[in-house]
Amino acid sequence: MIGYTRHIGRKLAVLIFLLGTYTHSLCQNNNLIDSLNATLEISQDEDKVDAFLGLAWAYRKSDADSTIYYANKAIEIGRVLGLTNKVATAYNFLGLGYHYLGNDFESEKHYIMALEYSEEFQDSSQYAHAANNLGKYYLRSGDFVKAYEYYQLASNVFDKINDKDGLAFTYKGLSELFRFQNDFEKALEMSENAVRIRLQLGNTEDLVSSMIEHASVYDMLGQHKNALKEYLAAKSQSEIINDEIGIARINIGISEYYFKRGDYANAVSFGERALSLASNTRNASLITNINFDLGRAFFGLGDIGKAKSYFDLVLSKAELSRELVYERESYFYLSKISKKENNIQKAYEYLKKYDALKNKIDYDEAARKIQRIEIRADLENKEKENELLKANDLNNKELIKNQAIQSNVLMFIGFLVFCVALFLWYEVRRGKKRNVELRSKIVTISNQNEEVNSLKEDTEAKNEHLSFKNIELQELNAEKDNIMHVVAHDLRSPLNNVKGLSQILDYTDLKEDQRTLVSTMHQVAQGGINLITDLLDITSLQYGMKDVDITEVSTIDIINFTYESHAESADLKQIKLIRDKANIDVKLNSNENYLKRILDNLTSNAIKFSPKGGEVGLTSSEDDSNVYFSVKDNGPGFSEKDKEKMYEKFTRLSAQPTDGESSNGLGLAIIKTLLQQLNGAIRLESEQDKGSEFTVILPKSMG
């Protein structure tokens, strides 16, 4: 009895320790280590495994090395005792530890070991957790197809064993996946599911993580007030459990919220709070994010000294954090800072590094777009195959039905023959006549059966031929797209180098004729880059870009963005760029990036074809159902012949740029394609030598 009581006491001590560890996972100190030692001294081997697993989980965000240490301890004892489910858990925790250290190779390896170990010993729960962790790994690696497959696998197993906690993890991961693919509506649905389950389960730490993801989706949807509200609610929950990492992540989210609104002082304030909380951890990815946000906030305040120090920190940790986007943008800001300091050589070096990383990221993104298009094509092919199978199934059912009818007819014929035999003695002549009629029917049915079989064989042969032709067309189209992307990528880098070199030469002491040659070189390089970009864009728009992300868009924001983007180029050409500041702000449901591109192309053309000293006007208006954007210039205008072909690709019109600018004939074709995606239209009012006014017409709602 005494031994049993001691055993219960040890179990209770371990339980109390684990509860304390999970609740204060980010507040480890010497007292916590002393508590661990005291617990381990009174624990039996199995209880020690539980204690080690508790510590491994608690340390995962703030001290990943400790997570790895305690997970290995749990594996060491668990293997000896045959505790297979705890060993699988420890492998999952090892993967998490390496993930937070930024070691993706070891992270993936241990997740796979957890998956295989739990499958071997039929541990459904840890099998699902390992699949979910692999989904997160492949999402981080940019392999969205594998990420989705593993998330679906985890979701199915969690649902089958009714593990709500695991389902919440998977919903959060799927939200991140859909967010990265710009499918914000699905991302919102998944994040709402995760928050709902977390509220039911009452796990505050995991609830905070789901609320942060929920806020991020709101922000991407343009629902900024909802995003801030969700961030503040998550912060309140994090402060209850003293979750410093969670509070740091929330503070940086709020900092980004204020940065987007130009409130740089508040952006700095919340960024510094986040850094204060995260600086004692080894979470390289989070610290890189905070340093970058602080750098651009100080840049916005005009404190370029502090901004430079934070961007330098981002670059010094780039290899550890592996955050290429932050590294790229840091080079961009450092180039701006060097230019402000009149260090043109340094600015050019930073700009080259920025362009190199941008090209790499853009190329990777283009590859992912091609992959998504190929996946969509595969799904469509599978749907066609399913439809073909259904059609064949219907044909088979019809054939079986016909055969059944034939069998019934034959049975009926046999019955009639039997009846005729019985009545042969009574009606011999009449019976012979009936036999002749029945034989004729049999021949007719046999001929019909042969015709059905012939039609079936002909249909199958045609289907096979069509399938082969479809495969050939798909292969040719894929080969064409691949060649175009490879050629475009190989041409873009040398053209960027020529452009950058011309910018550097422009700052040197040149003669007037040399400066003219350098300017021509810069214009030719920029024209080549613009042509490559337009070719890739119009190809992407025509093949595979069927889904359009719709958000609420402000007409004033679009007009202001277009004005600010072209003010400098207009000044250089001594053209007065005018925007109607009295416009009433109108909200419409459309795609913001497409609208910016349309107004950018129209304004660029207006400046390009207007004479020095001319004017270009930007206005917007509305009626009950539509919104109108207008770009007006006093350039050469369009002839009637120009109007007939102006929206065709690579079209050369009668008017020419007034200052030697390049024109590839794709701008208006891209505008027409984008407006088709937005259910919009474009109207031109122009007479030759009297200027032009393009009016873009868009519905207030695409729903």
Per residue in 656-679, pLDDT (tens digit) is 787 767 666 677 888 998 998 899
Rg (C-alpha) for the chain, rounded Å, is 35
For strands 681-686 and 692-699, give the pairing: antiparallel
**DSSP character at residue 343:** -
| pLDDT classification of 19: cutoffs 50, 70, 90 | very low
Above pLDDT 90, what percent of the chain?
Answer: 25
**What would the pLDDT profile of 56-98 be if each residue is shown by its tens digit?**
888 877 788 889 999 898 888 888 888 888 888 989 899 888 8
Report CA 677 to chain centroid distance, whole Å: 19
Question: Residue 647's closest CA among 615, 681, 621, 614?
Answer: 681
Alpha-carbon span 368 to 361, nearest angstrom: 10
Whole-number average pLDDT of the chain: 80
First and final C-alpha spacing in the chain: 73
* pLDDT of 395 above 90: no
Alpha-carbon span 472 to 34, nearest angstrom: 70
Strands across the sheet with 615-622, in order? 576-579, 615-622, 626-633, 692-699, 681-686
**What would the pLDDT profile of 343-383 be if each residue is shown by its tens digit?**
999 989 999 988 888 887 776 666 655 654 554 455 355 44
Mean pLDDT over residues 397-410, rounded? 75
Residue type, 280: N
Give the pLDDT of residue 333. 92
Q: What is the pTM of this model?
A: 0.44
β-sheet bridge partners, residue 697: 628, 681
Give the pLDDT of residue 12. 38
β-sheet bridge partners, residue 299: none
Alpha-carbon span 356 to 127, nearest angstrom: 41
Question: Residue 435's closest CA among 415, 420, 454, 450?
Answer: 420
β-sheet bridge partners, residue 693: 632, 685
- Distances from the Cα of 26 to the Cα of 18, 61, 94, 278, angstroms: 14, 8, 18, 10
Give the pLDDT of residue 1. 38
Alpha-carbon span 591 to 87, nearest angstrom: 49
Above pLDDT 70, what percent of the chain?
Answer: 81
Find the angle CA(559)-CA(563)-CA(568) to the nearest 5 degrees.
170
Number of C-beta neighbours around residue 33 at 10 A: 12
